[in-house]
Structure formats: structure tokens, C-alpha cells
Structure 1
Amino acid sequence: MLATFAVSQYVLLSKEKESVYQEEVERAAFMADGLSRSLQTLMLSGNAADAADWLERLSESPELLTVQVVRKDQNEAFLDGETIGLVNRQLGTDVFNRPLHTSRSITDIDKASFTRAVNGEQITHLDETNATLTFLLPINSGEACMNCHAYDSSETRGVLRITTSIEHAQQRIVQARRDTIIYGLSVSFIIGLLLYLFIRRQILSPLELVTEATAGIAAGDLDSKVDMQSKTEIGKLGESFNRMTDALKNSTVSRQYFEAIMHSMGEMLFVTDMEQRIRFTNPATQAALGYTQQELLEKSVNDLIKSGIELSPAEAAELAKAGEIKGIEREFMHKSGQTIPVLITATIMDQADGKAYQVIHAGRDITRLKRAEHELRLAAKVMECDASAILICDAQANIVLVNPAFCEITGYSREEVIGKNPRLLSSGKQKPDFYRAMWGHLLEHGVWAGEIWNRRKNGEIYPEWLSITAVRNTAGEISNFVSIFSDISNQKEVEQKLSHMAHHDQLTGLPNRTLFSDRLEHALAHASRDKYKVGLMFIDIDGFKAINDNHGHDIGDALLCEIARSLKNLVRDADTVARVGGDEFVIILEHLLNFEDILQVAEKILKQFSTPTMAADIACDIGCSIGIAVGPDDSSDADELVKKADTAMYLAKTSGKQQYRIYSRDCMIAQS
């Protein structure tokens, strides 16, 4: 409230300052305009001496600090004879004469501002530091001026410089600031006083009544009552206190009764005299510290505290003054040497004559609280530093917390996702059935983990490994969902590379024997089902060994790559070209309706290699022998079909090379 009031006062003061300066500028501008008009009237008379005298008299005015006419060369006018000389030469006679003085250059004018004024712009400069307001007013040339000053055809003859004092305006601003501060302090004092009175009435006074009544009961006065009319929580406390007093009064009040109450307390409770010697402890204190009652009696409470001091001088003074002090955290020493963090409340117990004679100490072991705080800090640190993205949702699956890794992976800031549903990350690659199954498993088993595709803020779709855990409260209800995920794009890329390496020839990039066999089995299975043919060509490169031996392995490798490229260009994209040996290639032609399609491809291959093939700028004279088998006509078994194509290729090679042989036709004839 006070901060808001202070800001409003600052804004009002700023506006007041702006208004005062604006008013001063307008007043001075009006005066400057009048002076400018008067000066131009005097100058039209042609008597520069009168104009100079008028300016000198104006300079004596207390409001005007400076009044000068400055020529365009930034020298003060009406001093030297330069302008008079130009005018007399223009008129052809010495019309104007006056006493001459030494020329004086005006150097305390900002050159850029002066240039703008010479160009016809009216300049106003407010200098708060020196409390001045300066006007640079262009003196424009009129028709009458041309009678004497035709030697200069520019629109501006010079600049009128007028500087006025704004001390009066600044005094008004200082007074306004002083008034605002006084007003603000007064209002702040009133607000603070009202706030204090409210707290005093509603909180402090009722608590004092409870404290006094508690001290009365401690001194044996069971007639102590708390008179509260408030219906607040503190008023309810007073009512509860009165009911407790009535219950105590109606009971058998005795030392044994109070000791029974203190013995039943689960919190530490011990009593010391004013010299801090222990006079009484309850079983909870003995259990917490590992001492017996007898061992603790007559011990100083300071002997049980690691620092050796239960209350600092300031805390002891506060206890003596207020009769009670709360929230004192100390480390007590267990008999075994272990330290125990304890939160203490100390209350002075007075005698009937009002003199303090004992202090009641109520302590709570906060080991678990400290451990929980440490674990929370550790968890927060782990969450901040974890390279995996962490996302926490409430029971309605609205995002309540994310860590920096989440922002780094998704591209979203915390502010952009808090309160949103995680579906904003959905890529659309998974179907609704996937999410229904995921949520069903999560709600039934409390955890789900798997691979999922999500979308970054920039629209990029990426794979992630995601695990979701449903967190339940003590009632068994789901309170939160904790999701941890990591971007596995690199892993997927590595997997793809490894898969490619495992199924492709490293030199040519063609499918290797493993991938070829898999594709051939699939092609034969589909061919049997859909009633079409599969052509299999087994190709052996003729003359490759000689080139490899004569030109080296580098040329040989380049030739194999060129052969692979040529074969791929001769077949359809749906067909498969694979390298299964050093200079052996196979081609799978799928979805063939007639046998002639296979022969056309074979003819194109023979034609391609009937001319030299270029490899690293070397013309390589090679050929090829092709064996052809057709599935499922020749066989529906992949291995068997390969053997038959290989047999046909061997027949082509032994029959003179650079030709093809068909297993079902040529090999059967050869065998017969």
C-alpha cells in the first residue's frame, strides 16, 4: 500500500515538474517572440545604433540574462564594421556610420543548434543545471531588408539569442517536492498508525490477554479468563482457553495432574530456573536426548546445546521483556554425541507476586523437517541440473513445473507452458488409440514408459524416450503426474546408421546379401499371393579382375561404384540392386506381368556394358554375364531361386560372356 502511494506521489511530482517547466517555456517563448518582432522593427529603420542600444538596455533586465544578435558567421552584430561596409557598398555611398568596436565571436553557443537556427529553425534549450532557458530565433530577411542587404539573398540574416533565468520555476518545483514529501510522510504515518492500531486491536492485544491468562494459570490462578469479543481465529483461541480453564478448575488440580499432562506430551518439555538449571523434564525430552530424568536435573540447559548458548543476549532481553520468545532454533547434543535440531519456545512463569522464577521450554525435534528441507533443496538442484527434461502436472494434467532441460529440448519457456496441457507437444504421428492405451496403462499400473514422437516449439518433430509416473497422496488419489523424457534423435540417427551399415554394402551403398535375401523372400511371398512374377538376375562382371590388378584397388573400387550407379539407373525405383560379392551383383524385378519385361532389362544391361565404362578418368573395358531365374515359376524358395540364377549366370560365362542365359530355357536344354 505504502509503495503504491509512494509511486503515485512520484508520478504526480514528475507531472508537476513537467507542467512548471512547460509553463516557463511558454512564457519565455512569448516574451522572446515579442522581442524578436521589436528587434526586426528597429532593424527595418536602418539604424543599427538604436538596435544595439535597445539590446544593451534589455540585457539589464533581471529576467533576461543574455540578449544578443549573432551574425551567421557566429560573431556578435553591431560591433565591427563588416555589415556597414557591405551595406554602403551595396548602396554606393556611405549612408550608415557609427562607432566601431572589435569583432567578438560568440563561442558559448552549441554549433549544431546555431546552424539549425541559421537554417530557419527556432531552437529552445532548457538547462536545468544552470537554471537557464535559451532561445535561438532566426532573423528572417524581408522585402524591405533587400533595399540595403541585397548582397545576401539568403532567407536568414542572423540569429537573435535570448537567455532567461528559470530559477523561479525551479524554486516552485523545489517547493512542490517539499510539499509532496511532507504530504507523503504524513499520509504514510497515518497509514502506519492505522495499521499498527488494527494489528494491536485484532492480534497483539488478544495474544497479550492469552499470555497473561497463561501466566496466571502457571502461577496457580485458575480463575484467569480471556475476555475476547472477536470471532476470529484468535477469538476462538480465547474461547478454547476459557474452556480449558473451566475444565482445569472443575478437575482435581494438582502437581501430579499437570505432570501427567506433560508426561503424555509427544514434544520436548522442560523447566529451568532463572539460572538455566533444569528443574523438570518430560519423558519426550529424556527420550530425545538419551538421558534419564536424574541425569538431566541440575544440569544447565546450555550444557546440552552444541553452541553452549540457548538464548543470545538479545533473545534473553526479549524474553524478559515480553515473557515469551518463539522460533529459537538450536542444536541439542544427544548423550551419544549426535546433534539434534530443535525448535524452542520459551515462556517465563511468574510467582504470585509477579516475579519471574522459572522458564518453561517447549521443544520440537525438527530432524525430519530439516531432512525434508535438505531433500527438497537436493531434489530442486537435481531437477535444475538433470539433462533429462522433467515435467510435473497436477491431477488434471495441467503443467505446474518444468526444468531447464525441458525448455532446452522443446524450445518453450516456463511461462509459455505453465497451466497448459502437455498435448501442446503432440506431433500428430501417434493415433488416438496410442494415447488411450498409454493413459489406460498409466492409470492402471501407475507408470508408463516408451518411445514417442513430439513436436518442438519451432515445429520440428523429434523422438523421445518418455516415462510417466502417477503420484498418489495419502488418500490414494492421484495428485500429480511426473514425466521424464530425453531427446533420442542422436540415438535414432545412430541406430539408422548402424542398421544401414548392417544391411548395405559399405563401398557402393547398395543392399548387401542380408538385405537382398530379406527383400527376395518378401517379393516371392507377395508374388505367390498376388499372382505376379519376380525376376532375379545374377550378374558377374567380366574383365573386372584384370582392371583391378592392373590399375589398383582404388580404380577397382571406383569402377564398382560406377557399375552400381549404372545398374540402379537401368531399373525402376521399386526394384532392388544388391552387391553380393566382389564383382557380383543381383537384381530383383518385382510386379512383372510377363517374361519379356525381364529380357528388356537384361538387354539394356548388356548394352550399357558393351562400351567402356569410365572410372576415375580411366576407360575400363568390361562386360557382364547374366543369369536369369523367375519366381515363383522356377522356385518360390529364395535360396533355391538364387542358386538357379547363379547356374544360369555360370552358363552365360562359359558360353562366351557378355550375354544372358535363362534358367528355365537354357539350363534345362544344357542339362538335357
Structure 2
Amino acid sequence: MRYQDKEIKILLVESQQQDADFLKHILASENHPPFQVEHIDRLSLIPGKLCRGGFDIVLLSLSVLEEGEHGTESFSSVYSRVGEIPIIVLSGVDDEQAALEAVECGAQDYLVKNEINGKILSKVIRHSMARKKVEESLSRSEEYLQSITAGAPIIIFATDKNGMFTLSEGKGLHALGLQAGEVVGKSVFDIYKDFPQILTDIRRALAGEVFTDAVEVANVYFDTWYSPIYGQDGEVMGVIGVATDITERKHLEIERQKLSLAIEQSPTMFMITDTDGRIEYVNKKFMEVTGYTLEEVKGKNPRIFKSGETPPEVYKELWDTLKSGKEWKGEFHNKKKNGELFWEMNSISSIKDERGSITHFLAVKEDVTKRKWAEETIVHLAYHDALTDLPNRFLMQDRFNQALSQARRRKKLVGLMLLGIDRFKGVNEMAGHSVGDQVLQAVAKRLSGCVREVDTVARLGGDEFMILLPEMNFVEEAAKIAQQILDVIKPSFNYNGHELNLTCSVGVSVYPHDGEDVESLLKDAETALGRAKQQGRNNYQLYTPTMHVETFGRMVLENSMRKALSREEFLIHYQPVVDLRTKRMIGMEALLRWQHPDIGLVSPVEFIPIAEENGLIVPIGEWVIRTACAQNKAWQKAGMPRMRVAVNLSARQFQHANLLEMVEWVLKEVDLDPQCLEFEITESIAMENVDFTLTILKRFKEMGVGISIDDFGTGYSSLNYLKQFPIDILKIDRSFIRELTVDANNQAIVSAVIALAHSLNFKVTAEGVETPEQLDFLKRQKCDNMQGYFFSKPVPTEQFEALVMQNKHL
């Protein structure tokens, strides 16, 4: 059955029976399509009729509204009851305005009763039903369009040729604070008047151009496609477009761009390779360090940087680590484009895609050449004497142990010589320390030239040298070399017109006759050296057991020392420590002195070694700690600035079982903040038992007590252990400061020590600063603190108080 032939069922709502009969009559005369009319005369009957269904259209007389059960009712209330069925309003001549209002509220059309005939009514009914179907179809289309765009970050829009929006749908509107359809009927040139790019794009599309453009609206980014809409006549009717919200993607692009710029401008080197090791990217810093451009290395294997200095096992460890999915860290000794070698610290890891598959490798590199040089300088310094560049005590000890091991296997003898320059102190006093240092350098050169190639000459400090004689068959060989040494020292030393005639004394011990270990042989050689000096100097002595008898003077000094503590003969002098940045005193070092009732002030060099040997250093050291802490507390109570007092710990003190408990008790007894106390230990003490040292230092740090390494550079410190120790300060030994302004080697060493200390987050204090030139150099190298005669010598308590009260500063 065709749509036109289908019977149309009409619900006629008319309160006037005469009008109802008329309408049914004229509809009955129209058979195409046939009409079936049911008449009701009250609004209240509408729901019941509609519930039974089947009606295609409602003819509603406005007269019914005036006769409603509750008085006059509005059309909108009736419209809400009818639902989706189209309504045609019937009005009288005087009700035409009300009919128009009904159409605005949802009626499909209206007719004036006096102007109705069958054809007109039939036509209006058919058109209203058709229009309703079109509206429903459009509504479904809009709902479908909304459902498509509701979940996607897009906007589908259309305008007419004047730029009026005819369509605007999509979730992307929410980002702009708009709702679907809100802009329909409004001009794009009004809504986006502040966004000239959008207006330009609309004009381009109206001109017939199809294109895509990136648009930013109120910090929201869109990728927008524009196309003209053409009418049947080929003319542009408007514009259609799809705007995709790419804000999140844009932000990711911006972040990637930031990351890219950060990598490109980073002071660290970056390199990216594919899984086969071919280079795909290097940053600017990489090119600066290596001298290669990206074009020169792209597609190449990093093997082009190999110098041959990196052990093969390093590369094996690298690939084994990466294959296991872990990050590898290590050093390469590589080669630049110009052939120069350099050290780099690497952190190499894999880059994986979203499936977890490795796609690339990333290497983050740092040029550590300067640090390695500093480390090598410190290592060399740790094993060699700074003045003569001879091996020091610790390197000598290592070689001595090797020589003893070989001697045991080969049944050989090993000789040990200790040599002292006779009356060398007078050289310093007469010609100055500079000449004295030159003499020591010349002596070192002469000694090295007169021994065998297998022998080792070392400087222990001051004017003392040690010579190792391995692979001897007879004791007489040692005696022969000792005589050669006496002879080679005798020729005059000439400096600046001064002729110096020197001699030396030599003590000799031999393995296995005089001992089977380093300590025993060294002790015997010291005894023999002492005997050589007693015998008038300028001779050598082979050790004999009778030499172990203590000298009378030493015994007297030791006996006096045992009574000195109870007699209160010890006292403390304080030397200020000055901050080079603020130029103010920040602390002081407590230095022990002995005021002997008979011989006067005894040098610590004379009595402290004896106290260390016989154990008196433990009670004396406790007295120093207690006295220094109590004095510091008294100064604070008196209103003096809060400062840290530094106390030296000897090896025997440091190893004493009750050291920690004693320090805790003293701090509690005098009520001193632990942060106002600092302990100084030498490198040799720190390295004697690393595990023990680490335990003690950590306990001190837990208390809050400061730690410094004293005389840094005169002993041996393993850098691997040094960085583990909870150290606050490295104190550069005065031997490096003395000739700082005239000795380039000393300058290099001091600079290296400061740089290394700062890289480990340690502060640096320079000891023995005596001249403005030394001070200026230290300031330029960013040394933290100084201590020395340039500011103040060690002074008694009262004089130190005066320095503080006078606010003395650099």
C-alpha cells in the first residue's frame, strides 16, 4: 500500500459539536487518502484515547483550551500530553494570534475554521505528517551525530555563506567552555573576532579552498580541516569543517621539544645508537668534547673512539649488563678526533618501546679527564714525596714487603738503610728553607744515582731518607753501598754563591739477621742510625743487638713526663682558623705544650713520640680534650662567639677502646655542643685499619663531632676509602704551602687537592700560611679556610681571648 492510500486516523478535539460535524463531513469527502476521525469534546479525554494508540494526527480546536477542567489551559500543557503525534491547531478568526503562538510552541500548523475546506484540510494534514517525519529523521540524525562526536575530542561544524553557524557538535566544544548547538545561528566573525587565524581560515574555505590548519583557541590546540559546501548551481553555500582537539598531543610535543633542547644544550654528553650499535644521535656537548660532527659519526660504531687503553673486559661487562636489561656504569679511556686521549664516565641503558622490546641504547657521558688527572696526581702524591718525587714511606713499605717475599723464596738477604743529613737544621737556619729544600732535592738525586737499579730510595720527611737493598748475597754489600753514600754526599753543594759542605749518618739492618719483618728491621735501622749520630756522625753503623739500650737522656725525659700531668706542667696554646670568604675566625686548633720546670718549654716533637710509644699519650690526650672542651664552653658562657675547637688524636688515642665513651662523657660533663668539637687525624692513622676507622668516624659523626684529615698529602689515602669516610675537612700540609708561590709543582698539587676535596664535598684548610702571596693563591683556588703565622701563631689562652675580643680578621 502506498503512503498516499494508507488510512489516516485523526483525533479531533472540538468542544463545539457543530464544528466537529462539519470537519468530519469535509474529511469524509476526501478519499485519497481515506480519513478515520474520532471526536472528543474535552481535554481530559486525550490521554485515554492516545493510550489506545493508532492516531496519526491531532486536530485541536483552541476553543477546547478555554473550557478546560481547570479553567483556561495553555497549549504547551496540552502539547506535553500528546507527545510525538503532530498537532494542527484550529482557530476562529479572532484566535489567529493564539494559533501562531501554538505553532511556536510545537504545533505543526494552524487553520482558521471559516477558511477550511476539504482539500485545504487534507493537504495540511498530509504536509504536517510529512514534516513531522522529516523532523524526527533530523532529530535522529542529530542524535546520531552527537553520539559519534560525544566521545571524541572533535568539533564538527558548518556555516552558511555569510559565516553563520548551522552546525556545531562534538566533545571538543567542552574544552572551549561551549555546549553542542550553542553557537548555531551565531556568526563565526562575532564569536571568534579575537582569533584572526580562524576568520582567515573561514574566508579561505568560502573562497573554495580545501585545507588543514593548526589553530589555537584560548590555550586549546586544534588540527582543523576546512572544505567549502557547494550548492546545485556550483556556488559555495557555506563551509564544513572538523576540528580535532590535539592539546594533549601538542603539550607532549612541547615537552619533547623542551627535552630535546635540554639534551642538545646539556653540559653532559649524550649518544643514541640502534641495537646494532650504529650511532644515530650525539648532542652538541659530545661534538665539542670529541671534535667530531654528527655527520661524521652518524651510522658509525662507537669503536671509532677506542684508544686501546680500555681493557677488553670492560666492554664485555658492558654488553653482559645491557643484555641482562640493567644499566651499566663505568669509564672509558677514549680518543678524540685529533688523537688526544680523554676519560669519560658512562651511564648506558636500553630504550624500550611500548611492548618492552629494545629499540635503542642511550649513553650519558661526562668528560672526567680533569678529575682523573687530579686523582692520579693525588695517588702519585700519596705514594711519593712532594719535594723530591721519591717514593714515600708507604710505597717503600709495599716494595719492602715484596722484597722480603722474594728473599724468602730465593734465600737472599735484604738490606734496609736509614739516612739522616747531619746538622741539617743549621742549613735551614743559615740559608733559609728554600735553600734547604734545594739541598734535599740534590741529595735525593745523588742517592738515586749511586745505588743499584733494583734498589729503592725513599724520603720519609725532613732530612730522613730510606734505602731498600733487595737481592743481596752478603752483608758486606750493604756496607759497601753505605760507604758509597757517605762518599757521594761529601762533595760541596753550591746555591746562590753559598758553598755547603754536608755529611750524613747511616743506620743499616739486614734481613734475616736483624729481623724478619718490616717493623723489626726499621726499628733496628733507627737504632743503628742513632748510634751513628752518637759516634760523631758522617759514618754508617750496622745494627747490633747491644744498640737497643735506651739513652740516659731519653729515660730522664720519659720519667719527667710521667709526673708532668699530675704536676699540671702541660698547657694548651690555641691557633685561630680563619674563613677565607668572611675573613673571620671560625675556630681554633688546640696544641699541646709542656712547660718543664727545669729545661723550660719542651717541643712536642721531642715528647709526643715518646708518649705515643709508652702509652702516656692516652691520659695526656684525654686531658687535652677535656681542657679544650671546658675552655670552649667557658668562652661561650663569657659571650665570645660560638666556635669549633680542633683537637689532634694520635694513633694510640684513636685505637684506644674507651675513646668514644670518654668523648661522650667529657661533652656531657662540660655541657658542650658536640658541633663545637672537631678531631684531627692523619692519613696514616685513617688508613691503618680502614674498617675500624670507618666505625669510629661514623660514631663521631652520629654524636655531631667534626672530622678533619690533618697533614693531607704527606701520607697515603686510598681515594676509594677517603670518599667513604664521613670527613668534613682536608687540611693541606704546610710543606706544600711553604713554597707555594715559587714552586709550580706545589701550586698544581694544592689546586688538585682543593678541586678533589670540593668534588667530594669536603672543605679545605691550608696550614702554615705565612705570606700574603700564599693567601692570595689560596683565595683564587677557592680554598675555604687558612691557619698560620700570617694571621696568628699558636698563643696561650689569654692571648687568644684578646684576639677574639679585638675582633681580629684578615
Could you tell me which of 404, 408, 416 is aligned with 2:288? 408
Q: How does 1:608-647 map to 2 (within 5 A)?
A: 608-647=488-527
- Alpha-carbon displacement from aligned partner over 1:182-231 (angstroms, at most 9, x marks no partner): xxxxxxxxxxxxxxxxxxxxxxxxxxxxxxxxxxxxxxxxxxxxxxxxxx
Q: Which amino acid aligns with 1:500?
A: H
Aligned partners of 1:484, 1:586: CA distance in 2, in Å? 47
Contact 2:279 2:298 in 1 (8 A): yes
Contact 2:416 2:525 in 1 (8 A): yes
Aligned partners of 1:259, 1:493: CA distance in 2, in Å? 70
Aligned partners of 1:522, 1:273: CA distance in 2, in Å? 99
- Alpha-carbon displacement from aligned partner over 1:15-43 (angstroms, at most 9, x marks no partner): xxxxxxxxxxxxxxxxxxxxxxxxxxxxx
Cα deviation, residue 579, structure 1: 2.0
The answer as to 2:193 corresponding to 1:327 is no
Aligned partners of 2:512, 2:191: CA distance in 1, in Å? 94
Could you tell me which of 244, 252, 266 is aligned with 1:364? 244
Cα deviation, residue 485, structure 1: 2.3
Aligned partners of 1:351, 1:500: CA distance in 2, in Å? 91
- Change in 2 beyond 3 A, CA 1:586/1:273: same
The answer as to 2:424 corresponding to 1:537 is no
Cα deviation, residue 305, structure 1: 4.5
Q: Which amino acid aligns with 2:542?
A: I
Q: Which amino acid aligns with 1:443?
A: K
Aligned partners of 2:261, 2:177: CA distance in 1, in Å? 35
Runs (4+) of structure 1 exceeding 6 A deviation are: 351-355, 668-671
Q: Which amino acid aligns with 1:435?
A: Y
Could you tell me which of 295, 299, 302 is aligned with 1:422? 302
Q: Which amino acid aligns with 1:361?
A: G
- Change in 2 beyond 3 A, CA 1:446/1:272: farther
- Change in 2 beyond 3 A, CA 1:285/1:546: closer
Cα deviation, residue 530, structure 1: 5.5
- Change in 2 beyond 3 A, CA 1:308/1:669: closer
Task: Quote the residue 2:464 is aligned against.
Answer: 584
Contact 1:512 1:579 in 2 (8 A): yes
Could you tell me which of 294, 304, 307 is aligned with 2:194? 307
Cα deviation, residue 450, structure 1: 1.1
The answer as to 2:168 corresponding to 1:268 is no
Task: Quote the residue 2:121 is aligned against.
Answer: none
Q: Which amino acid aligns with 2:217?
A: F
Could you tell me which of 477, 480, 486 is aligned with 2:366? 486
Cα deviation, residue 519, structure 1: 3.8
Task: Quote the residue 2:718 is aligned against.
Answer: none
Cα deviation, residue 278, structure 1: 4.4
Task: Quote the residue 1:187 is aligned against.
Answer: none
Task: Quote the residue 2:144 is aligned against.
Answer: 257
Task: Quote the residue 2:348 is aligned against.
Answer: 468
Cα deviation, residue 534, structure 1: 2.8
- Change in 2 beyond 3 A, CA 1:594/1:287: farther
Cα deviation, residue 451, structure 1: 0.8
Which is further off, 558-567 or 547-556?
547-556
Q: Which amino acid aligns with 2:451?
A: V
Q: CA RMSD in A?
A: 3.3
Cα deviation, residue 646, structure 1: 0.4
Cα deviation, residue 518, structure 1: 4.1
Aligned partners of 1:473, 1:633: CA distance in 2, in Å? 72
- Change in 2 beyond 3 A, CA 1:406/1:541: same
Cα deviation, residue 404, structure 1: 3.6
Q: How does 1:215-364 map to 2 (within 5 A)?
A: 254-293=141-180, 296=183, 300-301=187-188, 305=192, 307-309=194-196, 311-313=198-200, 315-322=201-208, 325-333=210-218, 339-349=219-229, 359-364=239-244
Contact 1:389 1:402 in 2 (8 A): yes
SS of structure 2 residue aligned to 1:635:
coil
- Alpha-carbon displacement from aligned partner over 1:471-516 (angstroms, at most 9, x marks no partner): 1112222211222323332222222222333433332222333443
Which is further off, 401-410 or 421-430?
401-410
Which is further off, 396-405 or 366-375?
366-375
Cα deviation, residue 383, structure 1: 4.1
Contact 1:536 1:589 in 2 (8 A): yes
Task: Quote the residue 1:452 is aligned against.
Answer: 332
Aligned partners of 1:597, 1:561: CA distance in 2, in Å? 26
Aligned partners of 1:349, 1:488: CA distance in 2, in Å? 66
Aligned partners of 1:563, 1:556: CA distance in 2, in Å? 11
SS of structure 2 residue aligned to 1:580:
strand
Cα deviation, residue 635, structure 1: 3.0
Cα deviation, residue 437, structure 1: 1.4
Q: Which amino acid aligns with 2:156?
A: L
- Change in 2 beyond 3 A, CA 1:450/1:564: same
Cα deviation, residue 601, structure 1: 1.4
SS of structure 2 residue aligned to 1:567:
helix
Q: Which amino acid aligns with 1:391?
A: M
- Change in 2 beyond 3 A, CA 1:287/1:254: closer
Q: Which amino acid aligns with 2:206?
A: A
TM-score normalized by the length of structure 2: 0.46
Contact 1:541 1:623 in 2 (8 A): yes
Cα deviation, residue 354, structure 1: 6.8
Task: Quote the residue 1:122 is aligned against.
Answer: none
Aligned partners of 2:545, 2:376: CA distance in 1, in Å? 42
SS of structure 2 residue aligned to 1:622:
coil
Cα deviation, residue 438, structure 1: 0.7
SS of structure 1 residue aligned to 2:156:
strand
SS of structure 1 residue aligned to 2:211:
strand
Task: Quote the residue 1:441 is aligned against.
Answer: 321
Structure 2, unpaired ranges of 5+: 1-138, 552-810
Aligned partners of 1:598, 1:306: CA distance in 2, in Å? 104
Aligned partners of 1:255, 1:368: CA distance in 2, in Å? 28
Task: Quote the residue 2:274 is aligned against.
Answer: 394
- Alpha-carbon displacement from aligned partner over 1:277-315 (angstroms, at most 9, x marks no partner): 5454434123322333375555554566583335445x4
TM-score normalized by the length of structure 1: 0.55
Aligned partners of 2:549, 2:198: CA distance in 1, in Å? 114
- Change in 2 beyond 3 A, CA 1:317/1:593: same
Contact 1:305 1:330 in 2 (8 A): no
Aligned partners of 2:169, 2:199: CA distance in 1, in Å? 25
- Alpha-carbon displacement from aligned partner over 1:307-346 (angstroms, at most 9, x marks no partner): 3335445x44431243x6332222212xxxxx11212113
Aligned partners of 1:614, 1:272: CA distance in 2, in Å? 105
Aligned partners of 1:459, 1:450: CA distance in 2, in Å? 22
Contact 2:172 2:244 in 1 (8 A): no
Structure 1, unpaired ranges of 5+: 1-251, 334-338
